[in-house]
Amino acid sequence: MRIKNNVYVAPNVSIRADEGTPFYISSNTNLQDGVILHGLLNKFVSVDDKEYSIYIGKKVSVAHGALIHGPCYIGNKVFVGFKAIVYNAIIGEGTVISYNAVVTNDVRVSANRFVPPGANIDTQEKANALIRVPKDEEEFAREVQRVNQEFPASYNLLFGSHRCSCGMPYNH
């Protein structure tokens, strides 16, 4: 399990690195309330000659109640909508997966594609037919990322910027 800088993990997020591991969460990513990350045992995606159960790129937003189930690769600047499911899939950079959508069955979604609300993308043909992200959806995803990016900095105000050997927070 590796979580990089400036990652926001909201309340009630479940990062279950119990079966499939390792997980990698890149910088400036946010996992909103109720997100679940889980992976299958011995199933991987390869990134830079390393294997991961789940790999999440930079500046990714995973909205409330979404499920990311490995093996799975989520590219940079992806938005995963409310209650969406991404399982056994590769998602290209800048893609927007709308609410209640499902992307599964080893599909590869190209960069900057839009998965509409409630869509079931379970074949490569369906993935190949996806349109480019509409401007309003792109702007919404960017705004969610901007707002959620402010949360990690507030951790230091709330919990302190340092920890003593006993674990108690303090500001230096």
Residues forming the active site: 19
- The CA-atom distances, in angstroms, between 140 and each of 12, 42, 68, 88, 109 are 24, 36, 21, 26, 20
The residue to which tokens 């003593």 are assigned: 164
Give residue 132's Cα distance to chain centre.
20
* CB distance 93 to 57 below 8 Å: yes
Integer Cα distance of 42 and 34 in angstroms: 25
3-state helix, strand, coil in the chain (%, to 5): 15, 35, 50
